[in-house]
């Protein structure tokens, strides 16, 4: 995708003329202090907290204690070893007796639990158990109630991988991509066999190794991925009304991000890209399984290609990261741009960090011109090629559009690599990225107000109203089309953007 946009991999260690640093893990605090105004990184300080399973359980539990049942979208869980005694007490209680004597309780009546190491990914270390004696762990772990009645297609379990971009926490701005993936297990679901991961885990990294991966499965076909478009086509064929489901998922995503918002310091030139894993049960209720910090971007099948490539292009457009041809446009239309020489001179005078403003404790410190972070296998540097215009060399950070009049350029500083985006006035959509928060542009607050408990409460209240309104509309208008229901919801909630729903 980066190559298609005309970018080049940056491999030099001698200077700091890179534009985008994409890294699978988080960045040290020092990296945020030393950003120049033309540099972008793909993580926000402390934004990855919700991606650790133990943190997520704790945050959602705290929010549920404050705001009630609106946060009841994650299976009840325990952080081990800290909460082992609580888990033991819960396991001893088991299910309600339903009129039978405890001595006659069947083994199958005991609740099923799922154990997940907090710092692992791709399904590693996950297993199911019924009896506490079967629990064995050697690292920090979470144990959650297992969703025993998932929605099945052709007898196979599946979950959803949804893509979420948070370009700003101050103000809170959340986008969700319309397209996504449905990921299937490759053996038919059954509670009689808890040791078979191909029945219970939907991670692609596991199921691509399963014996049923290449065979033609009932209703699902071969492989283990669908796009959301394919899933919705199946829902329509099966007569499943799914409009309310997608609105519940919208609320789930917003509320999850809000659970961590008070911890995020004001920053610039960074964004977060999450992968939300959501399970749908047999009653069409969505459950949040986990949040992934660096969702897989591999291109392993047709579904990946259909979803991920356009998603990344649209996300870079959303963030304001230019194409190479945008630079070359300035060479062909100088009459519509400010003098390149003057612009380059302004850029040199502005050769300082954009994060020098006093809004954050991360904005302190001065960066040495010769200091460059060490190169590791975890990062990728991208930069634009230098462009010659009338004998003047524009460095990669120089980004001049050829669509604004000269006078406007003279009145404002030249914006480079998305830094001109004002998230107080976030666009309703970009490509298939749809803004799900703020729901209306008039709810936006200044940056100084966003790290405030009262403000978070008002946002949660808005989401509660959104969820209740969607439920009421679905109940009142059972025969209405999803377009009509979305219009009703926009009118009731006074939404200034689109209602998020996957394509058909």
Residue 107, burial from CB neighbour count under 10 angstroms (0-12, 13-18, 19+): exposed
Cβ count within 10 A of residue 497: 19
Per-residue pLDDT of the chain (504 residues; tens, 9 = 90+): 999 999 988 887 566 778 899 998 888 888 888 888 888 899 999 999 999 999 999 999 999 999 999 999 999 999 999 999 999 998 887 655 544 444 444 545 688 999 999 877 777 889 999 989 889 888 899 999 999 999 999 999 999 999 999 999 999 999 999 999 999 998 999 999 898 888 999 888 888 888 877 777 778 887 789 999 999 999 999 999 999 999 999 999 999 999 999 999 988 889 999 999 999 999 999 999 999 998 999 888 889 999 999 999 999 999 988 887 554 443 333 333 333 333 333 433 443 444 444 333 344 333 333 334 443 444 454 544 443 333 444 444 333 222 333 233 222 333 345 556 889 889 999 999 999 999 987 644 444 444 467 889 999 999 999 999 999 999 999 999 999 999 999 999 999 999 999 999
Residue 328 neighbours by CB distance under 10 Å? 14
> Helix-strand-coil percent breakdown of the chain, rounded to 5?
35, 20, 45
Burial (CB < 10 A; 0-12, 13-18, 19+), residue 165, is buried
Round to whole Å and give the CA distance between 413 and 411: 7
Distance CA 71, CA 69 (A): 5
**C-alpha to C-alpha distance for 228 and 503, rounded to whole angstroms:** 7
| Residue 79 CB coordination number (10 Å) | 20
Instruction: Specify burial of residue 392 (Cβ count, 10 A radius: 0-12, 13-18, 19+).
Output: middle
**Contact of 125 with 155, CB cutoff 8 Å:** no
pLDDT at residue 449 in the model: 45
Contacts 24+ apart (CB under 8 A), 389-394: 389/330, 389/331, 389/334, 389/340, 390/334, 390/340, 390/341, 392/340, 392/341, 392/344, 394/327, 394/340, 394/344
Tell me, what's the pLDDT at 373? 40
Instruction: Give the number of other Cβ atoms within 10 Å of residue 116's Cβ.
Output: 22
Predicted TM-score (pTM) of the model is 0.81
């Amino acid at each position: 995708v980066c190559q298609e946009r005309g970018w080049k991999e940056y491999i030099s260690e001698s200077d700091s003329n890179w534009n985008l640093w994409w890294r699978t893990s988080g960045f040290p605090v020092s990296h945020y202090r030393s950003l120049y105004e033309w540099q972008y990184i793909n993580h926000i300080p402390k934004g990855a907290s919700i991606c650790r399973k133990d943190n997520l359980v704790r945050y959602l539990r705290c929010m549920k204690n404050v705001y009630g049942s609106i946060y009841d979208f994650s299976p009840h869980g325990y952080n081990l070893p800290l909460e082992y005694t609580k888990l033991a007490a819960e396991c001893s209680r088991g299910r309600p007796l339903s009129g039978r004597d405890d001595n006659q309780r069947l083994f199958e009546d005991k609740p099923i639990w799922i154990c997940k190491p907090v710092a692992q990914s791709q399904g590693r270390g996950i297993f199911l158990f019924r009896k506490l004696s079967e629990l064995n762990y050697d690292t920090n772990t979470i144990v959650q109630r297992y969703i025993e009645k998932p929605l099945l297609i052709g007898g196979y379990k599946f979950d959803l991988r949804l893509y979420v971009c948070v370009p700003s926490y101050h103000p809170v701005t959340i986008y969700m991509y319309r397209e996504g993936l449905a990921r299937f297990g490759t053996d038919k679901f059954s509670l009689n066999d808890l040791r078979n991961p191909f029945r219970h885990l939907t991670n692609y990294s596991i199921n691509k190794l399963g014996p049923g991966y290449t065979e033609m499965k009932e209703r699902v076909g071969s492989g283990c991925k669908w796009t959301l478009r394919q899933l919705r086509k199946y829902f329509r064929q099966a007569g499943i009304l799914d409009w309310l489901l997608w609105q519940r998922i919208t609320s789930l995503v917003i509320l999850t991000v809000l659970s961590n918002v008070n911890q995020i310091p004001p920053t610039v030139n960074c964004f977060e890209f999450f992968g939300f894993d959501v399970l749908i049960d047999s009653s069409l209720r969505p459950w949040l399984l986990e949040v992934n910090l660096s969702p897989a971007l591999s291109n392993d099948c047709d579904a990946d290609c259909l979803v991920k490539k356009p998603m990344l292009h649209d996300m870079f457009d959303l963030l304001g990261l230019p194409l190479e041809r945008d630079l070359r446009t300035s060479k062909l239309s100088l009459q519509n741009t400010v003098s390149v020489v003057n612009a380059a001179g302004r850029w040199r005078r502005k050769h300082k960090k954009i994060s020098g403003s006093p809004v954050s404790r991360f904005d302190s410190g001065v960066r040495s011109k010769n200091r460059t972070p060490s190169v590791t296998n975890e990062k990728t540097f991208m930069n634009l090629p230098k462009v010659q215009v009338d004998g003047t060399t524009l460095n990669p950070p120089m980004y001049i559009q050829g669509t604004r009049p000269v006078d406007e350029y003279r009145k404002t500083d030249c914006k480079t690599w998305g830094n001109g985006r004002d998230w107080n006035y976030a666009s309703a959509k970009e490509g298939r990225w749809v803004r799900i928060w703020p729901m209306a542009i008039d709810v936006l607050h200044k940056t100084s107000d966003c790290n405030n408990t009262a403000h978070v409460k008002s946002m949660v209240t808005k989401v509660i109203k959104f969820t209740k309104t969607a439920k009421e509309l679905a109940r009142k208008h059972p025969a209405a089309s999803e377009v009509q229901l979305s219009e009703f919801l926009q009118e009731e909630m006074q939404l200034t953007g689109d209602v998020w729903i996957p394509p058909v």
